[in-house]
A = this chain, B = another copy of it.
């Protein structure tokens, strides 16, 4: 750990957070390095020095996005009845119109955006996405298993199958939301699913 050298003039974590917002709302391809330079108020070379190239920078932002999301997910599910918490997990993207990006569109889920844009050509992106999917289903399945045991959730299907279904729904909902959503219709669909899980 070198204690010498010119100190970094910006906050690396904060820069990554801002980059996350940009990447989230515009996607990878539509966010140019110049956009980042402008938004983060630092010079090109500093960016490359701190984060490597654009791809690594994006992947770091995705990882940060997931870590944050996972923390919220775990918190939401660890206490109280599971179904209301899951309802919120789904309802959140359904009401996401207010999180409109700078181009006036909901961001959707950044994991889903990455799946669509990067995964076909980028194995590292695919790993991050696949790992996120696996963690989501594991966390949700664990909660559902407890809820099945408690008689809150139907045992008509395994917790794993139910969790997988919830993953599909969250991802699809977030994606469809980007094209514009009738919020009440979306919430009705969410309720239909949650009701179907009820014991």
Contact = CB atoms under 8 A, between A and B. Distances in A.
A196 B194 CA distance: 10
A19 B99 CA distance: 35
Contacts of A197: 196
Interface in A81-96: none
A193 B158 CA distance: 12
B29 A158 contact: no
Interface stretch (A41-49, A53-61, A69-77, A107-115): A107-115
| Residues of A contacting B: mostly | helix
A185 B164 contact: yes
Interface string A157-191: 11011101101111111011011100001101111
Nearest to A105: B120
A129 interface: yes
A156 B27 contact: no
